[in-house]
Amino acid sequence: MLSKKIESALNKQIKIEGDSSQIYLAMASWAENQGFEGIATFMYAQSDEERVHMLKLVKYINQRGGEAIIPAVIQPELDHTSFKTLFTQLFEHEVYVSASINELVHVSLEERDYATHNFLQWYVSEQIEEEATARTILDKINLIGDDKGGLYLFDNDIKNFPSIQTNLA
């Protein structure tokens, strides 16, 4: 049985994961409208992945005797002035999600809820990957700068990023 403190913290994370899915979905739609098929494909896959993260939390809370709360959908407020700005926001959001997961791990240890602590280790590992992917993409965007040819090649290459290969299979 989950403590109320753990249940509340996990429900907060459900909202964060749901918001993450919406952020990636908004980025995907924007990229698609700009004609960047590769970036859109990547962002749609990431949006789906974040929704799966949310669902894992919902099922876990319910299986442990808690009540998962499904949050309202938010409209992300993003700055679309440049690809660099967009991907910087993505990276900063992933850092925020990592901090939230780390806080959840801390709460699970405080509450001596070792089952939840064990469950959360998957999220800890996942966030290491998410941050690394976002950092790599941002590094590539920084290398490209304002080169339209480089952006074209990047758009083609991002379809082959390892993180989306598992989602598309």
Q: Cα–Cα distance between 121 and 117 in angstroms, integer?
A: 7
* Stretch 60-64: mean pLDDT: 98
Under 8 Å between Cβ of 67 and 61: yes
168 assigned to some structural domain: no
83 assigned to some structural domain: yes
DSSP 56-118: HHHHHHHHTT----PPPP-------S-HHHHHHHHHHHHHHHHHHHHHHHHHHHHTT-HHHHH
- The pTM assigned to this predicted structure is 0.90
CATH number, position 84 = 1.20.1260.10
Q: What pLDDT sits at residue 162?
A: 62
Q: What pLDDT sits at residue 28?
A: 95
158 secondary structure, DSSP code: G
- Which domain range does residue 100 map to? 4-162
169 assigned to some structural domain: no
**For residue range 137-160, what is the model confidence (pLDDT) as tens digits?**
999 998 988 788 888 889 888 877
The total number of structural domains in the chain stands at 1
Chain mean pLDDT for the chain? 92
pLDDT band, residue 164 (cuts 50/70/90): very low
The radius of gyration of the chain's CA atoms, rounded to the nearest angstrom, is 17
pLDDT band, residue 166 (cuts 50/70/90): very low
167 assigned to some structural domain: no
